[in-house]
Each structure stands twice: as C-alpha cells, then as structure tokens.
Amino acid sequence: MPQSIRFEHHGATLRAEPLNEAQGPVRLVWLHGWGRSREAMRPLADSLSPVAESWLIDLPGHGE
C-alpha cells in the first residue's frame, strides 16, 4: 500500500494517499462523504486506474 502524506495547517490535519502512478492524462482527487474515510472511494479509484492517477483524501476528523 502506498504511504500516506500528512498535511497540517492551523491545527487541522489532512491525509492524502497516492493510489497509483499516472496511467493517462487525468488526475483525480477523491473526497469521501460525511462519516466515511478515503477507503470508501478506493473501489471507484481502482476502477479508473488504467486511465487516471488518483489521490485518496481523509478529511480532518475522518479516517487516519
């Protein structure tokens, strides 16, 4: 599994995980819904991996 990256700004923490390397000209950032984590978006991001680089985000207070 790729290593997640942690961003902090004014006390808020955000985690991002690069899912794959660019396979095409498209780059996507996936945001989950309320009460979820980046894992909820993984199946959709995986399905587009042949054509798009994806980043999965955990919003502050969710996921990691």
pLDDT, tens digit (0-9, with 9 covering 90-100), for 27-39: 888 888 777 888 8
Q: What is the pTM of this model?
A: 0.69
**Residue-wise DSSP of 1-64:** -PPPEEEEETTEEEEEEE-S---SSEEEEEE--TT--GGGGHHHHHHTTTTEEEEEEEPTTS--
The domain ranges of the chain are 5-58
pLDDT mean over 3-26: 79
pLDDT, tens digit (0-9, with 9 covering 90-100), for 31-64: 887 778 888 888 988 888 888 888 888 877 666 6
Report the pLDDT value the prediction gives residue 56, as an integer from 0 to 100.
87
Decide if pLDDT at 1 tops 60. Answer: no
